[in-house]
Amino acid sequence: MKIGIIAKPNILEPLEITKDLSAWLNERDIEVFVEKDLGDQIGHSNSVDRADIPELVDIILVFGGDGTFLGMARLTCKHGTPILGINLGGLGFLTEVTVDELYPMMERIIDGNYEVEERQMLLTTIHREKNTIGTYEVLNDVVINKGAVARIIDLGIYIENSHVTTYRADGIILSTPTGSTAYSLSAGGPIVHPRIPVTIITPICPHTLTNRPLVVSSDMKVEIKVTTHEPDTYLTLDGQIGIRLNTGDIIEVKRADSTVKLIKSPYRDFFAILKAKLMWGERYGKID
């Protein structure tokens, strides 16, 4: 077995964890590859570029938060390499294993006693004046919104080539079920179990209050036409890639052929994480 290790940059905690874990894995005849920035800091013999790790290993360990996991997911999806997310802070929706659970989890992985769940991705294509200027795969969400100036933008929504509505809003979010607990949730979108094959369309502060979130089959093609003339309109992918849009641009979103393979925690399920993150059932104050 070969294992790759990725970590959130510029923090100290993964350094000692990676050194100790690498030694522990080597004792069990498991080859370890570490991303170059992290590997160079600890003097690891198998330090390689982050982008090369997915094709070199059988499993990838990601230390950090959900943001670190999202970046690695986009690199990994083409290779089908399973990812285990280890959270260095509180629990995450993607990094659902804690540092204290790391070694028991690694024992299970070595024994082959673990479960992999495939997560849907969205394929996003930008069309401008009959040309395709970019294609991206995302795990969480596709967001179109305005810049710093507080102006409403106009976005035409088409599903399966049928015009649905034109949102006048601060923006719009198209998310996977995995992304339903991220920005979409903050904007009033529904929580969707990650195994349900849908795409969630959530307007951000719509001017018309009847414009509510919409859930459609992930098999449906959704297109957003930028009809606004506001100059600072942006497309953001997984909160990590930003592209400036022009009037008339069409953003096509549909289910990607690729998926992300996530190694599930045996210690808690989606609902347990949901309760922990949202603090369901807890009382926030004492009534005298």
d(CA 203, CA 108): 42
Q: Spot the catalytic one: 20, 40, 58, 66.
A: 66
Q: Which residue has the tokens 């601060």?
A: 170
* CA–CA distances in Å: residue 184 to residues 95, 227, 238: 19, 22, 11
Q: What is the DSSP string of 81-106?
A: --EEEEESSS--SS--EEGGGHHHHH
The token duo for 65 is 């938060």
Q: Is 66 a catalytic residue?
A: yes
Contacts of 261 (CB under 8 A, 6+ apart): 76, 80, 81, 82, 83, 116, 117, 118, 119
The catalytic site residues sit at 66
